[in-house]
Amino acid sequence: MTKKYDSVTRYERLREAVGNGDVDRRTFFGLLGSAGITAGLSGGIMTAMARQARAAGTELHFEGWGGVVSEALRKNAFDPYEAATGNKVIDATFGGENEVLTKVKAAGSTDGHNILHSSGITWYKRWVDNGYDVQLNLDNIPNMSNVMEAMIEPFRKITPDGLSAVPYDYGTTGIAYNTEHVSKEKAMELGANLLLDPELKGKIGGWGGDWANRAWYGALQSGQDPNDIQDWDAVWDKAREHRDLVLKYWSSGAELMDLLAKGEIYVTEAWSGRVAALQAQGHPIAYMDPPNGLAWMETMFVMKGSPMEEAEALLNFMLAPETAIAVAVGQKYPPSLDPTKVDMPEEVKNLPAFDPTGKLEGLVFRDPAAWNPHEKEQGKQWNRVQKGG
């Protein structure tokens, strides 16, 4: 006699099989899809997802950073989610959140924008201050219980009545350098000032899409605490010094990787995961975080006007350990899951910025109270400097 199991029991048995090595991840996702169940979903959310499937699916528009990040999310999160629910994730690449904010304001609507792979605390507050936030029902996102409290608390301080996003990953913006042209000793000696080395003129790059990133490095190079800048003129003087040495300001992670991989630039500030991806490909690129280097945490931010049950289901799916770890390995950024609660594979433990304590006490994040009030004035200043002013 064949014994029948409900969906939750079947999921738990599948997950146990994966943990034992009896079922590989590809088969696991395939079985989830054919069974119409998904990681960590039960009760009301299961009912909601079944209803969504019967309704032939809802479209969710996702915007992220492209490149290896998008590939990891598509393969490990979106495709299995679509197979399991009948919903469709339309993923697109943005040049930066300013681009999205400008579009939304110009249109007077958030239509076509549902979930953003958003750049952490300062952008979270910016979206909230502009009135584009929602209040997530965390009962529909049970996997949130595995997320590091250190990553949740900064967002709760901004919206104590409810969250509009789930923390998803974290990393640092340090300095990448080509070891065939720059020695480790020189990099360690100069730190943030490696970006101002006149011997490397024409072989230096920079992230041009975010005034605050440029100012953070200007603060380090002028000897100031980035979260307590007293002399903005000194910051922009350093930015001008850097501008006169750069070959190009890159505008995306894909462009950053291309410039480094082809040897067009030898030194640039860089996102830790992108450098890890280059290293995995065998390129001679080293990475360092200078003292008070910039750390950041990213969220999956849900925009006002989005279909909430469907969005919450997707977020819960993305936070399931199997999915979040697979995405982390793919995109090379540690997941938001607490490593004291969820076992992490060596591939995650070896990622730059990974914190085994789950407390993130060794990383320096941008304080929105110190940075957001300066956005308008200093953002304009960066635009002037970038154009030669």
The predicted pLDDT at position 145 comes to 97
**pLDDT interval class at 375 (50, 70, 90):** confident
What is the C-alpha separation between 25 and 21, in angstroms, rounded?
A: 9
Give the angle subtended at the CA of 134 by the CAs of 355 and 53, to the nearest 5°: 90
Domain boundaries, given as residue ranges, for the chain: 7-170+297-362, 171-295+365-386
The predicted pLDDT at position 43 comes to 42
Whether residue 205 contacts residue 303, with contact meaning beta carbons closer than 8 Å, is answered with no
| Unique residue bearing structure tokens 């992490």 | 344
What is the C-alpha separation between 124 and 106, in angstroms, rounded?
A: 20
The fold of 7-170+297-362 is: D-Maltodextrin-Binding Protein; domain 2 (3.40.190)
Q: For 319-332, what is each residue's pLDDT tens digit? A: 999 999 999 998 89
Closest CA to 172 of 192, 197, 202: 192
**pLDDT interval class at 299 (50, 70, 90):** very high
For range 295-308, the mean pLDDT:
96
> Is 280 a residue whose pLDDT tops 80?
yes
What is the C-alpha separation between 157 and 312, in angstroms, rounded?
A: 21
CA atoms within 13 Å, Cβ hemisphere of 35: 22
What is the C-alpha separation between 343 and 94, in angstroms, rounded?
A: 32
The residues that bridge with 285 in the sheet, in sequence order, are: 178
What is the C-alpha separation between 291 and 278, in angstroms, rounded?
A: 23
Domains 7-170+297-362 and 171-295+365-386 alike in fold: yes
pLDDT-above-70 percentage for the chain = 86
The values of phi and psi at residue 4, to 5°, are: -100, 140
What is the C-alpha separation between 65 and 209, in angstroms, rounded?
A: 12
Q: For 203-222, what is each residue's pLDDT tens digit? A: 999 998 889 999 999 999 99
The predicted pLDDT at position 10 comes to 43
Report residue 150 CA to chain centroid gap. 16
The predicted pLDDT at position 66 comes to 80
The predicted pLDDT at position 70 comes to 82
**pLDDT interval class at 6 (50, 70, 90):** very low
Mean pLDDT of the chain: 87
For range 280-300, the mean pLDDT:
95
Closest CA to 268 of 259, 276, 277: 259
Q: For 229-257, what is each residue's pLDDT tens digit? A: 999 999 999 999 999 999 999 988 889 99
CA atoms within 13 Å, Cβ hemisphere of 321: 16
Q: For 136-180, what is each residue's pLDDT tens digit? A: 999 999 999 999 999 999 999 999 999 999 999 999 999 999 999
**pLDDT interval class at 69 (50, 70, 90):** confident
> Is 22 a residue whose pLDDT tops 60?
no
In angstroms, the Cα distances linking 52 to 62, 68, 116, 166 are 18, 29, 22, 22
For range 261-271, the mean pLDDT:
97
The fold of 171-295+365-386 is: D-Maltodextrin-Binding Protein; domain 2 (3.40.190)
The predicted pLDDT at position 261 comes to 97
At 338 the three-state DSSP class reads coil
The values of phi and psi at residue 337, to 5°, are: -70, 140
Q: Which of 60-69, 316-325, 337-346 has the lowest mean pLDDT?
A: 60-69
Whether residue 288 contacts residue 188, with contact meaning beta carbons closer than 8 Å, is answered with yes
For range 66-90, the mean pLDDT:
87
**pLDDT interval class at 36 (50, 70, 90):** very low
What is the C-alpha separation between 358 and 374, in angstroms, rounded?
A: 31
